[in-house]
Amino acid sequence: AQSVSQHNHHVILSEAASLELGCNYSYGGTVNLFWYVQYPGQHLQLLLKYFSEDPLVKGIKGFEAEFIKSKFSFNLRKPSVQWSDTAEYFCAVNAYSGAGSYQLTFGKGTKLSVIP
């Protein structure tokens, strides 16, 4: 079964600092990759997705992620964070499980706190 590791439980940054959140997965087959964000008091929202196209994926609100197949990684980046980026971020891996089905596995999440 696949697993997803998010290395940082809690990241604290000052506004304008650069962000990189790590995500590694263990699965050797076909995968689709997602980053979700959960702002305080809100539901989970899709931030960006990777579907076998350009390994550098652009998402909403200036976020991007790079899929490095050889490293089984899909790290999330933003060059300059804002206070409004304070949220919990979840990496998710959708792995092909056969017969046209995929199984989605989430990482444990990384809380980002941005200090004004």
Partner 1 sequence: SQTIHQWPATLVQPVGSPLSLECTVEGTSNPNLYWYRQAAGRGLQLLFYSVGIGQISSEVPQNLSASRPQDRQFILSSKKLLLSDSGFYLCAWNTGSNQPQHFGDGTRLSIL
Q: Which position among 49, 62, 64, 86 is part of the footprint of partner 1 (CB under 8 A)?
A: 49
- Pairwise CA distance, residues 20 & 64, whole Å: 10
Beta bridge partners of 96: 102
Shortest distance, CB of residue 62 to partner 1, whole angstroms? 19
Structure tokens at 103: 């199984």
| Stretch binding partner 1 (CB under 8 A), from 13-21, 38-46, 62-70, 72-80 | 38-46
Task: Give the CB-side neighbour count of residue 58, counting CA atoms within 13 A.
Answer: 2
- Residues forming the site for partner 1 (CB under 8 A): 4, 9, 32, 34, 36, 42-46, 49, 51, 90, 94, 96, 100-104, 106-109
